[in-house]
Amino acid sequence: MVSRCKVLANTVASMPQAPIIDIHAHFYPESFLKLLGEEGGSFGIRVRHDDPKGPVLEMKGGMLGPLQQAFTDLDIRIKEMKRKRVDIHALSLTRPMIYWADGVLGLKLAQTMNDAMAEAHQTFSHRFLGLAILPMQEPQLALEELERASRLPGIQGVYMGTNINGRDLSDPEFLPLFQRIEEMGLPVFLHPIRPLGPERLEPYNFYNLLGFPFETAVAAAHLIFSGVLDRFPRLTFCLPHVGGALPWLIGRMNRGYKIWEACREMKRKPSAYIRRFYYDTISHDPGTLIYLIRLVGAQRVMLGSDYCFEIGYNRPVEVVTRLASLSRADQGRILGANAARLLKIA
């Protein structure tokens, strides 16, 4: 793993302190958008270029965009990173992901995205890493792309939706893939998609404000209650948006474990698994972030911004440094040291 990021690892080693790493930074390569526009139409995906502010993605679940240049242009991104005092982005895809496609197109989209992230790393080796996307709708193809993408320069983790076309990540079909990811020592970063009950989440952008946090909690709960985390004790997952609703509901989950036999497929009570996950800092409330840090420990929390969506942080570093109750050492862990260790660049 480290050998694929030798330049970056050497840069990190020479720095007086750990670099500031944003582990929740979205990226839409031009090559990905081009393929999406050329072949997504038969699956209900359309890329419009009639808005001067940037491409607009139209899909069955709504619209995304216009996507500003900072999503696609690495030079602009680097200027933004400097302004925000962020040293490294762990690049990842987001909506519409690739699971809506058939296996053939899904694989092409994954390869295009992963190749673009590797190219970004090669061009700016001290600035970018990539989190590989896999065509999870076809688990065998996902395994094949995992083997290929994991050898690309700069690919240091796996990026995955919280469900795959309605299938939970605890589905037995995904177990061989998780086994291989564990063997490779790659962390898995989750992102919410297709929340439950979308018809009730249409007003007020509740799809994002409420649906995404609930969806993250559901996905994490499936990994806990199904025994996936027991089966793969060295497999690491990172949850976005401070874990969504999971940290707030862990006591209720413990109660279910105590009173209902159906909730005892795993070896221990749910709260025993809360530190099996890593979490980002995207809470938009200092009290919420402090609660998470006290619950799981500063060593399990990493900087995230949701770059560069307007729902994200414009000054992600200050979100951490303004927490007066947080020691300098814990700030350093959250700002970069934890991510550097997890991504194996330190």
Per-residue pLDDT of the chain (346 residues; tens, 9 = 90+): 444 566 666 666 656 677 999 999 999 999 999 999 999 999 999 999 888 888 888 887 678 888 888 899 999 999 999 999 999 999 999 989 999 999 999 999 999 999 999 999 999 999 999 999 999 999 999 999 999 999 999 999 999 999 999 999 999 999 999 999 999 999 999 999 988 888 899 899 899 999 999 999 999 999 999 999 999 999 999 999 999 999 999 999 999 999 999 999 999 999 999 999 999 999 999 999 999 999 999 999 999 999 988 888 989 999 999 999 999 999 999 999 999 999 999 8
User: What is the pLDDT at residue 2?
Assistant: 42
Question: Do 111 and 45 touch, CB atoms closer than 8 A?
Answer: no
Q: What tens digit of pLDDT does each residue of 308-320 get?
A: 888 889 899 999 9
**Predicted TM-score (pTM) of this structure:** 0.93
The alpha carbon of 116 is separated from its chain's Cα centroid by a whole number of angstroms, namely 17
Alpha-carbon distance of 75 to 97, in angstroms, equals 24
What type of residue is 137?
Q
Alpha-carbon distance of 19 to 16, in angstroms, equals 9
Alpha-carbon distance of 28 to 33, in angstroms, equals 7
Q: What is the largest CA-CA distance in the chain?
A: 57
Alpha-carbon distance of 119 to 113, in angstroms, equals 10
**Token pair recorded at residue 39:** 């072949």
Alpha-carbon distance of 217 to 230, in angstroms, equals 18
Which residues, in sequence order, are CB contacts of 309 under 8 Å at separation 6+? 26
Alpha-carbon distance of 88 to 75, in angstroms, equals 13
